[in-house]
């Protein structure tokens, strides 16, 4: 086995698109890979200082969409451009933007699934950022991505993950097993 020391290499990492409004109600988006589910109804995201954190200081509600192969270029764009110095950042994405039904934050309708979230806690807050803990208020799914059982059909969404080793995006592949079930073969 080759050793690599300590690196931010949890695999796979999500590609989260965080949507916020500024104090004038102007939408913004950023890309975040360092995040995940924190407990049953909460997520956590490691945030540096951005237009997004400026916005969250004014209005503690936001959305989180999962980037897809179809939205990849603009999803990467919002991760390399700041709303702080790019006034037309959101126009460049070409995304269709609406206010979320349950929080004061934008929904980017080009994404199959969006979480509506509210800030619960900022851990280790400093000038350089914080760990954001947020409550999931609601989950929205584009109806064209529902499975026959009425739940989101994740396998059909073309969701991408971020590869922190080679800094690439990888599209999720096919379903290969059943969780809490296939392991029973070895019981």
Question: Residue 165 CB, nearest distance to ligand FMN (Å)?
Answer: 12
Find the binder of ligand FMN among 60, 83, 106, 112 (CB under 6 A): 83
**Which of 47, 56, 103, 160 touches ligand FMN by CB under 6 A?**
47
What residues contact residue 59 under an 8 Å CB cut-off, 6+ apart? 20, 21, 23, 104, 105
Give the x-and-dash track for 152-171 against ligand FMN (CB under 6 A): ----------x---------
- Taking the CB of residue 113, how many other CB atoms lie within 10 A of it? 17
Single out the residue of 30, 64, 100, 134 in contact with ligand FMN (rule: CB under 6 A).
30
Strand order in the sheet with 16-21: 27-32, 16-21, 61-66, 113-126, 129-141, 42-48, 35-39
**Under rule CB under 6 A, residue 79 binds ligand FMN:** yes
SS3 at position 184: helix
Name the residue with tokens 């208020």.
Answer: 137
Select 132 or 141, whichever has its Cβ closest to ligand FMN: 132
List residues near ligand FMN by CB under 6 A: 28, 30-35, 46-48, 50-52, 76, 79-84, 162
């Amino acid at each position: 086995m080759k050793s690599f020391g300590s690196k931010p290499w949890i695999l796979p990492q999500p590609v989260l698109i965080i949507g916020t409004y500024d104090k004038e109600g102007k939408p913004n988006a950023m890309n975040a890979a360092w995040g995940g589910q924190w407990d049953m109804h909460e997520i956590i995201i490691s945030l540096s200082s951005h237009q997004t954190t400026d916005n969250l200081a004014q209005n503690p509600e936001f959305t989180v969409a999962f980037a897809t192969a179809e939205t990849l270029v603009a999803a990467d764009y919002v991760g390399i451009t700041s709303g702080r110095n790019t006034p037309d950042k959101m126009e460049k994405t070409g995304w269709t933007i609406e206010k979320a039904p349950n929080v004061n934050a934008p929904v980017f309708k080009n994404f199959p699934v969006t979480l509506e979230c509210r800030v619960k806690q900022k851990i280790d807050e400093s000038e350089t950022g914080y760990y954001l803990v947020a409550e999931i208020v609601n989950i929205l799914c584009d109806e064209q991505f529902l499975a026959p059982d009425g739940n989101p059909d994740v396998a059909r969404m073309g969701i991408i993950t971020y590869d922190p080793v080679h800094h690439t995006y990888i599209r999720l592949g096919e379903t290969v097993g059943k969780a809490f079930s296939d392991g029973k073969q070895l019981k």
